[in-house]
Structure formats: structure tokens, C-alpha cells
Amino acid sequence: LAAAAAVLPFLFVPQTEARTPLPDLPEGLASFGAAVAGDSLYVFGGHVGKTHRHSLEHLSHRFLRLDLERGGDWEELPLEYGLQGVELLSDGQGVLRIGGLSARNWDGEPEDLHSLA
């Protein structure tokens, strides 16, 4: 039996080299966007399928927020569609999504990929 890969996020403080464990993400991700704004960590989209398999099923349809001050679990935020290869930037108070890759095909169909750059 193949074991699922663990998702082990942590908060790293460079000055002290301290590592504080954070709650696991709801699913393993690659090619996602992440940024800190205010007291929260945001994670947007990503790839959840096998490597180099691109389809609607292999895109994460999640936009997550974790309050770094109060802790707790990841909060689901509204997201219209899944993307991967997203750049998420912060102005300190909010986040801005730039670009990304969208798949318009189902698994098993010829790949139909579109850049949102």
C-alpha cells in the first residue's frame, strides 16, 4: 500500500530559527500560491493530482486562510475555479492573485491548458 504524503507546514522565524508547527493543509498541494497578510496566511489553488497530469480534477478548488495569531484550523474562503501556478502577493493587509494556469479538460481527455497571465 502506498502511503499518502504528509503535509507538514510550519512557521519559521529567521532571527531565532524557531519552527512552530501549523495545522496540516486539507490536502497535499504543489504549484500553489501563498502569502501572509495581516495576521493570516493565505493559500490559493494548486495541483492535487499526479505529476504532469493536468485536468479539472487535478486542480485544487480551495482558497484557505489560517489565523497565525489565534491558531485554529484552516478556513475555507470562496473560490470560483481552481488554478495552479498562481502568484499570491500581499500588501500587508490583503492579497492579490496574479496569473495561474487553468485546465478546461477532464481527466483522460486531451489537455486543454490556459495561462491567465
Print burial letters for 20-51: b (CB count within 10 Å at least 16), e (below 16).
Answer: eebeebeeebebbbbbebeebbbbbbbbbbee
Q: Is position 54 within any domain?
A: yes
What pLDDT, in 10s, does the model give residues 27-63? Answer: 999 999 999 999 999 999 999 988 888 999 999 999 9
- Domains of the chain: total: 1
Q: Is position 87 within any domain?
A: yes
**Dihedral of CA 48/32/42/8: which sign?**
positive
Q: Is position 34 within any domain?
A: yes
How many CB atoms sit inside 10 A of residue 117's CB? 9
What pLDDT, in 10s, does the model give residues 3-21? Answer: 445 567 888 888 999 888 9
Rounded distance between C-alpha atoms, residue 67 and residue 39, angstroms: 6
3-state secondary structure of 56: helix
Q: Is position 94 within any domain?
A: yes
Rounded distance between C-alpha atoms, residue 30 and residue 79, angstroms: 18
Q: Is position 4 within any domain?
A: no
Q: Is position 9 within any domain?
A: no
Rounded distance between C-alpha atoms, residue 63 and residue 45, angstroms: 6
C-alpha cell at 21: 508547527
Q: Is position 23 within any domain?
A: no
Of 3 and 100, the one with more pLDDT: 100
Domain that holds residue 88: 29-115
> What are the DSSP E strand ranges found in the chain?
10-13, 18-21, 33-37, 40-44, 63-67, 75-77, 87-90, 95-98, 101-103, 113-115
Backbone angles phi, psi at 56, to 5 degrees: -55, -35
